[in-house]
Amino acid sequence: MNKIYAFIIIIPLIAMLFLKSMTFYEFDTKQRYIKNTVDSVAHKVMITGVLTVSDKEELMDKLRKLSDFEDEDVSLKCGDMQSDGTITGLYEYVLGNVLDRGEVFSIYVQSKDESTLSRMEGNSDNENNKLFYKAKAICRIEKIQPEGG
């Protein structure tokens, strides 16, 4: 009988630890994938200067496999780098627009729903403590302008 009491204590603790590990592993892995996906897009734009509609669709497909992402959850911006080396006044990037060398491109994604880890940790009560899948990349276009361009 004593052993039964013992297992009543031990098994829930093991289960809790296992679940925490699983949710942390899930968050960590997905977050890394999302960051890599965003970095790949940023690199593509950095080299070519353009993000096409099909590129965006491809990005959305990849993101939706990992979590709940809608079109409005992906923010694409562009603008110029100021002469003092700062970045201000970025505006909405229109898909297909070819950016010039030296311009700045920014991509920011944030999942619609908070992560399982966040729900499990009980962060849902406070909006500021919620843990979303999110990633950001800002790059400067480095493509070589075509002759006469």
Residue 125 as a binder of another protein (CB under 8 A): the answer is no
Could you tell me if 46 and 144 are in contact, meaning their C-beta atoms sit under 8 angstroms apart? no
Under the criterion CB under 8 A, does residue 140 sit at the interface with another protein? yes
Strand order, beta sheet including 104-114? 91-92, 74-79, 104-114, 132-140
**DSSP codes of every residue in 114-144:** EPHHHHHTT-TTSGGG--EEEEEEEEE--PP
Q: How far is the CB of 94 from another protein (least distance, A)?
A: 21
Nearest to 92 by CA among 109, 113, 73, 106: 106
Under rule CB under 8 A, residue 7 binds another protein: yes
Comparing CB distances to another protein, the nearer of 1 and 53 is: 1
Q: Toward another protein, which CB reaches closer, 32 or 64?
A: 32
Q: Which of 59, 53, 55 is nearest to 108 (CA)?
A: 59
60 scored as a contact of another protein (CB under 8 A): no
- Closest approach, Cβ 70 to another protein, in A, equals 24
Is residue 99 at the binding interface for another protein, with CB under 8 A as the rule? Answer: no
Whole-number minimum distance, CB 39 to another protein, in Å?
Answer: 6
For residue 62, with 0-12 CB atoms within 10 Å meaning exposed, 13-18 middle and 19 or more buried, which class applies?
middle
Site for another protein, rule CB under 8 A: 1-3, 5-7, 9-10, 13-14, 17, 20-21, 24, 28, 31-32, 35, 39, 42, 46, 81, 84-87, 101-102, 104, 106, 136-140, 142, 144-145, 147-148
